[in-house]
Amino acid sequence: MTALTLSASQTVGPFFHPSLLRADARRNALSTPAAAGERIRIEGSVFDGDGAPVTDALIEIWQADAHGRFRHPLDRGTQPPDPAFFGYGRAGTDDRGRYWFDTIKPGRVPFDARALQAPHVSMLVFARGLLNHLATRLYFDDEPSNEADPVLRLVPAERRPTLLARRLSLESPVTYRFDVILQGEKETVFFNW
């Protein structure tokens, strides 16, 4: 009779940096200087449940242009998307868990035939130990239309601050800070998309 042995514990990754963040695959800047809209920088860090920085995470974002158009064939807006805006970015975290993107503040996009969404950035987080990526949204803390956003209103009021990027500067480009906390008391709200 053969003795049973347990398999060694394994985590997923980390393969993001060498595979998905090659120099030709990195895209921290989502626009050219010709893009319409207010220039902004989004920066932040990714933290685990103990508050330690996650040094090998991958962040992907996608967003509408300044006119509220996605660079996607299913977007049926009335004006063409901005050709100087890419709409998609990818960044890895550094040895202190930090990431950044240079982009433009997105315009409002339709939720349905009656409601518009507040300007937001959709974000995916990939990290060691996650079997599936995590999906969240970044909203801007100085945006008046947040109160009426149909998605943000579904989030309990006490959890909404985890989705708000804080404006740090007034000069151009305006800088917003958005930290991602993977678990724990101040865990970022994640969505099932």
CA atoms within 13 Å, Cβ hemisphere of 56 = 12
CA atoms within 13 Å, Cβ hemisphere of 157 = 2
Q: For tokens 């550094």, what's the residue? A: 94
- In tens digits, the chain (193 residues) has pLDDT values of 556 655 444 445 555 555 555 565 458 999 999 999 999 999 999 999 999 999 999 999 999 999 998 887 777 777 888 999 999 999 999 999 999 999 999 999 999 989 999 999 999 999 887 778 999 999 999 999 999 999 999 999 999 999 999 999 888 889 999 999 999 989 999 999 7
State the CB neighbour count (10 A cutoff) for residue 68: 18
How far is residue 167's CA from residue 174's CA, in Å, rounded to a whole number? 7
Domain ranges of the chain: 16-181
How far is residue 181's CA from residue 56's CA, in Å, rounded to a whole number? 14
Read off the pTM: 0.86
For residue 2, give both structure tokens.
Answer: 């053969």
pLDDT for the residue numbered 95? 94
pLDDT for the residue numbered 4? 60
**Using an 8 Å Cβ cutoff, are 129 and 105 in contact?**
no
Q: Which of 91, 150, 80, 146 is nearest to 118 (CA)?
A: 146
Architecture of domain 16-181: Sandwich (2.60)
pLDDT for the residue numbered 54? 95
